[in-house]
Amino acid sequence: MSNTMPHEDGIDHTLSLMREGYLYILNRRRSFNSDVFETRFLGRKTICMGGKEAAEIFYDPEKFKREGAAPNRLKETMFGKNGVQGLDGQKHRHRKEMFMSLMSPNNLKRLTDITNEEWQTAVNKWESLDQITLYEEVQEILCRVACRWAGVPVQEDGIKNLTNDLAAMIESPAAVGPSHWKGRNGRNRVEKWLGELITSVRDGQVEPPENTALDRIVWHRDLDKNLLDTEVVAVEVINILRSIVAIALFINFIALAVHHYPEEREKLKLGDEKYAQMFVQEVRRYYPFFPFITALVKKDFIWNNFRFEKDTLTFLDLYGTNHDPKIWENPDRFNPQRFAEWKKSPFSFIPQGGGDYLWGHRCAGEWATIEVMKVSLDFLVNRLEYDVPDQDLSYSMVNMPSIPHSKIIFKNIKQKR
């Protein structure tokens, strides 16, 4: 026996999702007073859910699968085809082990060092400029960081184009028209360029440093002991490069938070590493980034008296879970202090997905993201002085991904000596 799931009346609700953006699922969880409801997107029955318990079942590999779940427009831009995101079971676990092996303490330390160096080079340049747009500058810093860390050689005159192409993959999945095509074209260009590089590595003409992403992925063998196809290697290397460049979005929100909450800036200046970590966690919880993730019901099951039918498209609300009043006190208040007493749960704080890194699809780069954010925070608070002139610092709760409208302009930049 099962109950009927709360559902939205009407033929299709794609327009409501586009109108309400990050708040779409949360708004309905509130009005239905239910963490799960049924709706229709692009003519297809879809289950939406959010909250800790919902995340727990979403990450149960017996109940949900990823193969075939990602919409095409996401694959054509952000994900690419046949990457780790769409794998299940042992195949997924084996590929994911390769990704997680890149996140060793030594490799993360190398990432922090490179990030420091690239920030330093950039700020030396900023001092002589009238003004900078932080979002674009940080994307370029991170593109350089990503390529160095991943062992991908790039000519100096190729950095700007590569930054733009990787940024377009991040900004285009939900866009329409030319902005969407920018993402597709960007992906095609970078996949082609990487394809040639991968062939040169396999031919012995290029030797990436040991233990870098390029080295590991090019020589990774699947469960049948075969090397991955060149196209798949390119997709997985882009999973690293693009994702590191995407941290620019969080760094823009760090700058916004430091500007909006001057009392936080003062606390951060005391140099307490634990507080810096708490601040970064709160930025990841509070600001909008990934709205939700998708999976398909693997086989019929009943949860909380509701029936989930095989192959139903299902969304897990990341933003809404990070703002769920059942988990977070005053969820709409920016308060790093909440992380001082935070009882860790892999399902309640899920800006980069939840669950287990190896058995599930939780973001492989979560630790890397936190480290890069901490270095950037240190520059913004302790190592730089700058003015934030009048500009439109508001950000949309509808456009995905959300970016402060001005992309944050700094003037009169000086290094603290």
Q: Which two tokens stand for residue 383?
A: 């190592």
CB of 246 to ligand HEM, least distance (A): 4
Give how many residues touch ligand HEM by CB under 6 A: 24
Residue 66: count of CB within 10 angstroms of its CB: 20
CB of 43 to ligand HEM, least distance (A): 24
Among 43-51, 223-231, 268-276, 349-357, the segment contacting ligand HEM (CB under 6 A): 349-357
CB of 289 to ligand HEM, least distance (A): 4
The answer for residues whose C-beta is within 8 angstroms of residue 155's C-beta and 6 or more apart is none
Query: If residue 170 lies in a helix (H) or strand (E), which one and from where to where?
Result: helix 159-171
User: CA 8, 13, 19, 22 torsion: positive or negative?
Assistant: positive
Contact flag: residue 353 with ligand HEM (CB under 6 A): yes
> Which residue in 36, 54, 57, 84 binds ligand HEM (CB under 6 A)?
84
331 or 351: whose CB is closer to ligand HEM? 351
Residue 312: count of CB within 10 angstroms of its CB: 17
Place of tokens 């377009």: 168
How many angstroms separate the CA atoms of 111 and 105, rounded? 10
CB of 412 to ligand HEM, least distance (A): 29
243 or 321: whose CB is closer to ligand HEM? 243
374 φ, ψ to 5°?
-65, -40
CA nearest 317: which of 344, 297, 290? 290
Query: If residue 121 lies in a helix (H) or strand (E), which one and from where to where?
Result: helix 105-126
> Which residue in 197, 247, 256, 297 binds ligand HEM (CB under 6 A)?
247
Contact flag: residue 287 with ligand HEM (CB under 6 A): no
Among 199-207, 324-332, 347-355, 386-394, the segment contacting ligand HEM (CB under 6 A): 347-355
319 or 379: whose CB is closer to ligand HEM? 319
Helix, strand, or coil here: 197? helix
Is 305 buried (19+), middle (13-18) or exposed (0-12) by CB count in 10 A?
exposed
CB of 294 to ligand HEM, least distance (A): 8
CA 304 to chain centre: 30
> Which residue in 246, 297, 375, 413 binds ligand HEM (CB under 6 A)?
246
67 or 378: whose CB is closer to ligand HEM? 67
- Considering only residues 91 through 120, tell me which ones interact with ligand HEM, judged by CB under 6 A: 96, 99
Contact flag: residue 85 with ligand HEM (CB under 6 A): yes
> Which residue in 251, 258, 293, 377 binds ligand HEM (CB under 6 A)?
293
The dihedral formed by the CA atoms of 194, 197, 201 and 202, expressed in degrees to the nearest 10 = 70
- Cα R_g (the chain), whole angstroms: 21
Alpha helix ranges (H) inside 207-349? 213-218, 230-260, 262-269, 273-286, 318-321
- Considering only residues 226 through 245, tell me which ones interact with ligand HEM, judged by CB under 6 A: 239-240, 243-244
CB of 243 to ligand HEM, least distance (A): 3
Reported residue count of the chain is 417
The answer for residues whose C-beta is within 8 angstroms of residue 403's C-beta and 6 or more apart is 135, 171, 249, 252, 395
> Which residue in 212, 352, 376, 406 binds ligand HEM (CB under 6 A)?
352
39 or 322: whose CB is closer to ligand HEM? 322
323 φ, ψ to 5°?
-125, 25
CB of 171 to ligand HEM, least distance (A): 13
C-alpha distances in Å from residue 116, one per residue of 19, 106, 142: 39, 15, 11
Beta bridge partners of 131: 411
CB of 276 to ligand HEM, least distance (A): 17
13 or 284: whose CB is closer to ligand HEM? 284
CB of 212 to ligand HEM, least distance (A): 12
CB of 200 to ligand HEM, least distance (A): 23
Q: Which two tokens stand for residue 234?
A: 């390119």
Among 188-196, 226-234, 267-275, 288-296, the segment contacting ligand HEM (CB under 6 A): 288-296
- Name the residue whose CB lies closest to ligand HEM: 365
CA 180 to chain centre: 18
- Considering only residues 354 through 373, tell me which ones interact with ligand HEM, judged by CB under 6 A: 361-365, 368-369
| Interface contacts to ligand HEM, rule CB under 6 A | 84-85, 96, 99, 239-240, 243-244, 246-247, 250, 289-290, 293, 351-353, 361-365, 368-369
